[in-house]
Structure 1
Amino acid sequence: MLRRSGNRGFAGKPLALALRALMLAIPVAGTGALPAASWAQAPAGARHYDIGPGPLDVTLARFGAEAGVPIAVDPAAAASLDSSGLRGTYTVEQALQLLLSGQPVEAVANPGAGYWLRRRDAARLTPADAAASVPTFEQVTVTAAALPKANELDDYRAATVNLGAMGEKAITDTPYSVEVVTRGLMDNQQADSLVDALKNDASVTPISNNIGGLSSQIAIRGVGLDLLSGRKIDGLNIFGWSGDLPLEHFDQIQLLKGAGGFLYGAAQPGGIVNFISKRPTDTPKRSVLTSVTDSGTFLLAGDLGGRFGAADRFGYRANVVGETGDSYVKDGGRIKRGSASLALDWHILPQLVWSADVLAVDRRVTGSSGWGIFPNATGSDTDYAVAQPPPPIPGSKRIFSPFTSYETHAKVYGTHVDWAFADQWRASLLYRGSAMERVYMNGSIFVNATGRYTEVQYGGRDRFDTDDVQALVTGTVRTGPIRHDLSFGVSYGRIRTFYSSVTNHAVLGTADLADPGHFANPGLTAPTADTLGSYTTQRAIFASDTLHIGDHLDVVAGVRRNGLEDSINGYDKTAHTPTAAVVLKPSQSLSLYGSYVEALEQGATAPLTAANAQQVFAPLKTRQVEAGVKVDRPRWTATAALFRIQRGLTYTNADNIFTQDGISRYDGIEFQAKARLTPRWQLIGSVMLLDAANETNTASLTGKRVDGTPRRQAKLYAEYRLGGTGLTLTGGVQYYGARPLDPANTAALPGYTLFDAGIRYERRFGGTRTIVRFNVDNLADKAYLLTSASYLTQGAPRTLRLSAQFDF
Structure 2
Amino acid sequence: MSPLPRFAKTRAVRLAIFGLTLTGLPGLALLPATAQAQSQAAYEIAPGPLGNALTQFGVQAGVTISFDTEQARHLSSAGLKGSYTVEDGLARLLANSGLRAERQGNGGYVLVPVSRGTAVVLGATNISGQILGETTEGTGSYTTGSMSTGTKLPTSMRETPQSVTVVTRQRMDDQNMQSLEDISTYTPGLSLRKTGGERPQFYSRGTAINNILIDGLPIAYDTDTLGTSTLAMFDRVEVVRGASGLMVGAGNPSGTLNLIRKRPTVEPQVSVTVGAGSWNNYRTEIDASSALNASGSIRGRAVASFTDKDSFTDSYSSKRQLLYGISEFDLSEATTLTLGAYYNREDNPGADWSGIPTRADGSFLPISRSTRMSPKWTYWNKKNQSVFAEIEHRFDNDWKLRLNTTWLRGDMDMLGTSFYRLDANADQLNLNVGRYTYEHTQKSVDGYVSGPFTLFGATHELVLGASYRTDKTDDGPGGGFLNDPLIVLDPANFNYHGIGKPAIDYNWSRTGKVDQTSTYATVRFNLRDDLKLILGSRLDWYEYEQSTVSGPYQFGAEYKATREYTPYAGLIYDLNDTYSVYASWTRIFQPQENRNFSGSLLAPVTGTNYEAGVKAEYFGGALNASLAYFQLNQENLASPLAACAPGVNSCYEASGEVQTKGVDLELQGMLAQGWQASVGYTYAGAKNVKEGSGRFDSDTPYNLFKASTTYRLRGDLEKWTVGGSFRTQGSAYTSFGVAQGGYSIFDLMTGYDVSKNLKVQGNLNNVFDKLYYQSISNPAGANIFGDPRNVAVTLRWSL
2:689 corresponds to: 695
Which region of structure 1 is more displaced relative to structure 2, 365-374 or 579-588?
A: 365-374
Check 1:321–1:471 CA distance in 2 against 1; reply closer, same or farther (3 A cut): same
1:342 aligns with 2:329: no
Check whether the contact 2:142–2:676 (CA below 8 A) recurs between aligned residues: no
Shift of 1:161: 1.1
2:133 corresponds to: none
Which structure 2 residues correspond to residues 629-708 of structure 1 after superposition, within 5 A? 629-634=614-619, 636-648=623-635, 662-674=656-668, 676-696=670-690, 703-708=694-699
2:459 corresponds to: 483
Tell me the secondary structure at the aligned position of residue 158 of structure 1. Answer: coil
Which region of structure 1 is more displaced relative to structure 2, 445-454 or 680-689?
A: 445-454
Q: 2:794 aligns with which of 774, 783, 803?
A: 803
**Cα distance in 1 between the residues matched to 2:464 and 2:50:** 38
Deviations along 1:101-125, one digit per CA (max 9) or x if unpaired, are xxx975259999999x9x99xxxxx
Shift of 1:772: 1.1
Check 1:218–1:653 CA distance in 2 against 1; reply closer, same or farther (3 A cut): farther
Shift of 1:476: 0.7
Which region of structure 1 is more displaced relative to structure 2, 300-309 or 500-509?
A: 500-509
Check whether the contact 2:722–2:751 (CA below 8 A) recurs between aligned residues: yes
Check whether the contact 1:352–1:417 (CA below 8 A) recurs between aligned residues: yes
Which region of structure 1 is more displaced relative to structure 2, 590-599 or 566-575?
A: 566-575
1:248 aligns with 2:232: yes
**Cα distance in 2 between the residues matched to 1:111 and 1:494:** 51
Tell me the secondary structure at the aligned position of residue 535 of structure 1. Answer: strand
2:253 corresponds to: 269
**Cα distance in 1 between the residues matched to 2:71 and 2:578:** 29
Check whether the contact 2:53–2:138 (CA below 8 A) recurs between aligned residues: no
1:204 aligns with 2:190: yes
Check 1:201–1:84 CA distance in 2 against 1; reply closer, same or farther (3 A cut): farther
2:173 corresponds to: 187
Percent identical pairs in the alignment equals 19
Q: 1:403 aligns with which of 377, 385, 401?
A: 377
Shift of 1:535: 1.1
Check whether the contact 1:237–1:432 (CA below 8 A) recurs between aligned residues: no
Q: 2:212 aligns with which of 221, 230, 239?
A: 230
Shift of 1:481: 2.9
1:620 aligns with 2:605: yes
2:27 corresponds to: none
Check 1:360–1:421 CA distance in 2 against 1; reply closer, same or farther (3 A cut): same
2:403 corresponds to: 429
1:538 aligns with 2:525: no
1:572 aligns with 2:572: no
Check whether the contact 2:638–2:656 (CA below 8 A) recurs between aligned residues: no
Tell me the secondary structure at the aligned position of residue 348 of structure 2. Answer: strand
Shift of 1:217: 2.2
Unaligned runs of 5+ in 2: 1-11, 21-29, 31-39, 76-83, 96-100, 105-135, 547-556, 596-600, 643-649
Deviations along 1:49-92, one digit per CA (max 9) or x if unpaired, are 87674879999654986569999x9x9xx999634565535999
**Cα distance in 1 between the residues matched to 2:448 and 2:280:** 47
Check whether the contact 1:461–1:527 (CA below 8 A) recurs between aligned residues: no
1:777 corresponds to: 765
**Cα distance in 2 between the residues matched to 1:661 and 1:445:** 34
Check 1:437–1:449 CA distance in 2 against 1; reply closer, same or farther (3 A cut): same
Which structure 2 residues correspond to residues 713-728 of structure 1 after superposition, within 5 A? 713-723=704-714, 724-728=717-721
Unaligned runs of 5+ in 1: 1-46, 96-103, 121-149, 378-386, 607-615
Which structure 2 residues correspond to residues 370-449 of structure 1 after superposition, within 5 A? 370-373=353-356, 377=360, 387-390=361-364, 395-446=369-420
**Cα distance in 2 between the residues matched to 1:70 and 1:671:** 30
Check whether the contact 2:141–2:669 (CA below 8 A) recurs between aligned residues: no
Provide the aligned C-alpha RMSD in A: 4.0
**TM-score, length basis structure 1:** 0.77
Shift of 1:513: 3.5
**Cα distance in 1 between the residues matched to 2:199 and 2:791:** 21
**Cα distance in 2 between the residues matched to 1:292 and 1:64:** 25
Q: 1:733 aligns with which of 726, 732, 735?
A: 726
**Cα distance in 2 between the residues matched to 1:478 and 1:689:** 42
Which region of structure 1 is more displaced relative to structure 2, 580-589 or 443-452?
A: 443-452
Check 1:648–1:486 CA distance in 2 against 1; reply closer, same or farther (3 A cut): same
**Cα distance in 1 between the residues matched to 2:589 and 2:481:** 36
**Cα distance in 1 between the residues matched to 2:472 and 2:51:** 49
**Cα distance in 2 between the residues matched to 1:262 and 1:111:** 45
Q: 1:316 aligns with which of 296, 300, 305?
A: 300
**Cα distance in 1 between the residues matched to 2:383 and 2:264:** 25
Tell me the secondary structure at the aligned position of residue 693 of structure 1. Answer: strand
Tell me the secondary structure at the aligned position of residue 513 of structure 1. Answer: helix
Shift of 1:244: 2.9
Shift of 1:198: 3.6
Check whether the contact 2:341–2:386 (CA below 8 A) recurs between aligned residues: yes
**Cα distance in 2 between the residues matched to 1:673 and 1:311:** 42
Check 1:91–1:706 CA distance in 2 against 1; reply closer, same or farther (3 A cut): closer
Tell me the secondary structure at the aligned position of residue 497 of structure 2. Answer: coil
Residue 578 of structure 2 aligns with an amino acid whose one-letter code is: S
**Cα distance in 1 between the residues matched to 2:445 and 2:91:** 56
2:131 corresponds to: none
Which region of structure 1 is more displaced relative to structure 2, 350-359 or 57-66?
A: 57-66
Check 1:473–1:789 CA distance in 2 against 1; reply closer, same or farther (3 A cut): farther
Deviations along 1:165-195, one digit per CA (max 9) or x if unpaired, are 6242222211111111111111111111112
2:448 corresponds to: 472
1:456 aligns with 2:432: yes
1:494 aligns with 2:460: no
Residue 236 of structure 1 aligns with an amino acid whose one-letter code is: P
2:753 corresponds to: 762
Deviations along 1:136-188, one digit per CA (max 9) or x if unpaired, are xxxxxxxxxxxxxx979742111111227624222221111111111111111
Tell me the secondary structure at the aligned position of residue 468 of structure 2. Answer: strand
Tell me the secondary structure at the aligned position of residue 170 of structure 1. Answer: coil
Check whether the contact 1:328–1:799 (CA below 8 A) recurs between aligned residues: no
Q: 1:589 aligns with which of 571, 575, 578?
A: 578
Residue 170 of structure 1 aligns with an amino acid whose one-letter code is: S
Residue 745 of structure 2 aligns with an amino acid whose one-letter code is: L
Tell me the secondary structure at the aligned position of residue 186 of structure 2. Answer: coil
1:523 aligns with 2:516: no
Shift of 1:348: 0.4
Shift of 1:501: 5.7
Q: 2:774 aligns with which of 786, 798, 807?
A: 786
Check whether the contact 1:261–1:600 (CA below 8 A) recurs between aligned residues: yes
1:354 corresponds to: 337
**Cα distance in 1 between the residues matched to 2:694 and 2:93:** 70
Residue 405 of structure 2 aligns with an amino acid whose one-letter code is: Y
1:9 corresponds to: none
Check 1:463–1:577 CA distance in 2 against 1; reply closer, same or farther (3 A cut): same
**Cα distance in 1 between the residues matched to 2:765 and 2:144:** 25
